[in-house]
C-alpha cells in the first residue's frame, strides 16, 4: 500500500487554510525561535564583544552577534505573517529558555557557549529543514550556514584556548558548569507538543532522540577533539 503524501503547506496563504492545531503548532516553534534568538544575542553574543581578547576575535564576535539578531528578525517577520502578536516574540512576552540564565562573565565561557549551545541549535534546525510548512523550512535552511559558523567559532577559539594550561582549565570549568544545562534545551521525553509537531510533519524526531544525538556529538567534540572531559549528567540522556 502506498503511503498517503505528507502534508505540505507552501506559503502563508495555504497556512491560513490549515486546521487550528497545525497553525498553533507552527506558531509555537516560530515564537520560541524569535524569543530565544533575541535573548541569546542580548545576554551572550553582544556582551561577548567586550570580552573578546583581540581585534580579530572582536570582529568575528560582532559577526556572530549580528547574525543572531538577524535570526530573531527573520523569525519575527515570519511570525508576523502567520499571526503571532509582536509582543509575544520578545523575552517580555514569553520566557526564554533556562540555558540563558548561565552567568557568562569570561571569554572562555562564551567560547564554550558557542561550542555546545550552537551545536544543540544545529540539531534543532536540521530537524526543521524538511518541515511541512515551507516558509519555516526555508528559514531553517537559510539559518543553518550561520549556525554552523557559530559552532565552528566556538570550536576554533576553544581549541586555541586549550593550547595553554590556564586556557584548558578555563574551558573545562566552563564545560563543567554549562553542559549540564543543555540537554533540557530539547524538551521533555514523551512531550505532547513534540508528538503534535511530528504528526503534522513540522518536526521529524522525538525530543529524546535529538538529545541522545546531541550528547553523542558533544562527547566526540569535547573528549576526542579537545581532549577534555564531558561531565556526567544526573540521569541518562
pLDDT tens per residue, range 54-103: 999 999 999 999 999 999 999 999 999 999 999 999 999 899 999 999 99
Annotate 160-221 with DSSP letters as a single string.
Answer: HHTTSHHHHHHHHHHHHHHGGGSGGGG--TT-HHHHHHHHTTS--S-HHHHHHHHHHHHHII
pLDDT reading at 4 higher than 80: no
Query: Of the candidates 124, 101, 99, which has an alpha carbon nearest to the alpha carbon of residue 214?
Result: 124
Joined grid coordinates for residue 1 = 500500500
pTM of the model: 0.94
Neighbour count for residue 212 (Cβ, 10 Å): 16
Kindly indicate the confidence band of residue 210, based on its pLDDT and cuts at 50, 70 and 90: very high
Q: Which residue has the cell 534545551?
A: 185
pLDDT reading at 229 higher than 50: yes
Domains of the chain are: 12-225 (1.20.1260.10)
For the segment 138-154, the average pLDDT, to the nearest whole number, is 98
pLDDT reading at 213 higher than 80: yes
Angle subtended at Cα 150 by Cα 111 and Cα 127, rounded to the nearest 5 degrees: 120
Kindly indicate the confidence band of residue 235, based on its pLDDT and cuts at 50, 70 and 90: low
pLDDT reading at 6 higher than 90: no
Residue 231 CA to residue 134 CA, distance in Å, equals 38
For the segment 157-162, the average pLDDT, to the nearest whole number, is 98
Amino acid at each position: 500500500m502506498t503511503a498517503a503524501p505528507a502534508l505540505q503547506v507552501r506559503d502563508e496563504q495555504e497556512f491560513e487554510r490549515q486546521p487550528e492545531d497545525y497553525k498553533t503548532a507552527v506558531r509555537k516553534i516560530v515564537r520560541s525561535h524569535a524569543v530565544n534568538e533575541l535573548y541569546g544575542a542580548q545576554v551572550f553574543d553582544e556582551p561577548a564583544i567586550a570580552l573578546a581578547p583581540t581585534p580579530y576575535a572582536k570582529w568575528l564576535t560582532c559577526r556572530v552577534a549580528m547574525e543572531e539578531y538577524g535570526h530573531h528578525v527573520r523569525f519575527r517577520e515570519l511570525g508576523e505573517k502567520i499571526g503571532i502578536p509582536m509582543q509575544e516574540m520578545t523575552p517580555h512576552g514569553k520566557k526564554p529558555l533556562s540555558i540563558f540564565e548561565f552567568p557568562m562573565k569570561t571569554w572562555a565561557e562564551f567560547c564554550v557557549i558557542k561550542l555546545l549551545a550552537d551545536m544543540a541549535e544545529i540539531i534543532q534546525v536540521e530537524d526543521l529543514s524538511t518541515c511541512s510548512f515551507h516558509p519555516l523550512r526555508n528559514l531553517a535552511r537559510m539559518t543553518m550556514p550561520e549556525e554552523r559558523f557559530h559552532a565552528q567559532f566556538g570550536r576554533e577559539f576553544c581549541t586555541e584556548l586549550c593550547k595553554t594550561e590556564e586556557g584548558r582549565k578555563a574551558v573545562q570549568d566552563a564545560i563543567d558548569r554549562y553542559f549540564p544545562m543543555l540537554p533540557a534545551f530539547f524538551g521533555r521525553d514523551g512531550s505532547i507538543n513534540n508528538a503534535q509537531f511530528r504528526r503534522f510533519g513540522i518536526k521529524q524526531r522525538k525530543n529524546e532522540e535529538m538529545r541522545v544525538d546531541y550528547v553523542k556529538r558533544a562527547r566526540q567534540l569535547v573528549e576526542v577533539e579537545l581532549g577534555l572531559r564531558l561531565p556526567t549528567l544526573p540521569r541518562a540522556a
